Amino acid sequence: MLTKRIIPCLDIKDGRTVKGVNFINIRDAGDPVELGEAYARQGADELVFLDISATNENRKTFVKLVKEIASHVNIPFTVGGGISSVEDVAPLLEAGADKVSINSAAVKNPDLIDQLSKAFGSQFVVLAIDARKIDNQWIVHTHGGSKPTDKKLFSWAKEGQERGAGELLFTSMDHDGTKQGFAIDPLAKLNELLNIPVIASGGAGTQKDFLEAFVLGKADAALAATLFHFGELTIKELKDYLLQSGVPIRNVNA
């Protein structure tokens, strides 16, 4: 089993870290710079910064905030939100982001994946997919989960890989913020289907949930927000538990 990664997610709205349940009922979770710095210090393997209202508000991700966060952390850092062209990406990478995450814009214009992969390399491109189960099918949603599309999770993930995405971030909207566990079955299917790393997102509530995401869901990384932001679980506690459970992880002694 390859080394697994623990990734706190910083959902940003109006310059603040926020968290909701099922993509709604948003509440404040703190300053993103302070949180990012704390997570890096605590042993997080990576960070994900998503400007969750950028697409709906038709604006670009805050480059200034990205730069400030990046200057306070020493671990890989993914940025997403409002990215719709090759021109949007260079300022973010220059500001300190290690990778970019694309979601709504990629659904609207799948060629964007090819363009970004060609311009910056597939290792810089994370395809984020928000999906909800409707009539026994996992349906892709865009615009912060507010708009259902005609795309299905597994075929879209496969197409994203073929177009050059280097990593997949899958969020189950049905599980998001519920703390009832990750969506294990689709995770496992994605990992069977794809050759690129898959990040599990949506539903982390206990240490066991992470263990199941890695062992049963075959995820390469697990992302969480609520547990970490509100002090319900520390990264060290989680990593100690996973190590004792036989899961290979990084930065154990942070």
The residue ranges of DSSP E strands in 22-110, in sequence order, are 24-30, 47-51, 77-80, 99-102
Contact 17, 10 (CB under 8 A): yes
45 in helix, strand or coil?
Answer: coil
CA distances for 220 relative to 66, 136, 197, 223, 239, angstroms = 25, 25, 6, 10, 14
CA distances for 24 relative to 20, 107, 139, 145, 244, angstroms = 5, 22, 18, 9, 35
Residue 11 is a catalytic residue:
yes
DSSP 123: G
Could you tell me the two tokens for 142?
A: 């865009």
What is the residue whose two structure tokens read 């909207």? 173
Containing 224, the helix (H) or strand (E) segment is strand 221-224
Which residue among 45, 51, 88, 130 is the active-site one? Answer: 130
DSSP 124: G
How, if at all, do strands 16-21 and 5-13 pair?
A: antiparallel
Active site residues: 11, 130
